[in-house]
Amino acid sequence: MKVLIQRVKSASVKVESNLVAQIDCGLLAFVGIEKDDIIDTVEKAVKKIVNLRIFPDNSGKMNKSILDTQGEMLIVSQFTLCGDCKKGTRPSFDNAAPPDKAKSLYEDFVKKIRSYGIKTGTGIFGAMMEVNLINDGPVTFMLEFS
């Protein structure tokens, strides 16, 4: 599983020009599910993300988590994170999970984030989406779980 997280002042996602979700301060998470991922991978990723101290404290140090700040989260499925660009000029997506498996684990990811009481918005799995954001910092991390 690969998750690209960005600390944001706001973020939104549209599908076919229709707004489907938006958040204020918090995290935007792009989630790529790989073929070897299982529910344990999801649980490990969620626990890490909700406790990751990437929000500033009163001194401006990254010392608070999304739980500490009561931030919101926008979660968008993005299989292209699983693309391998090492050979040639066209990415290989051999490592991406098949759509049915990816959708199920993506939905588990969203449920587990919500179980922490985090206000959560999502894109639509498999849809072409327009994602808008105001990055805060910018603060961006690429997380990989297996």
pTM: 0.95
How is domain 2-144 classified at the architecture level of CATH? 3-Layer(bba) Sandwich (3.50)
Tell me the pLDDT of the chain (146 aa) as tens digits.
999 999 999 999 999 999 999 999 999 999 999 999 999 999 999 999 999 999 999 999 999 999 999 999 999 999 999 999 999 999 999 999 999 999 999 999 999 999 999 999 999 999 999 999 999 999 999 999 99
- Compute CA distances 50 → 18, 26, 42, 47, 72, whole Å: 29, 11, 12, 6, 11
Domain boundary assignment for the chain: 2-144
- Compute CA distances 68 → 49, 57, 64, 104, 146, whole Å: 12, 10, 6, 29, 26
Exactly one of 41, 69, 80, 122 is catalytic; which is it?
80
Closest to 76 (Cα-Cα) out of 98, 53, 109? 109
Is 69 an active-site residue?
Answer: no
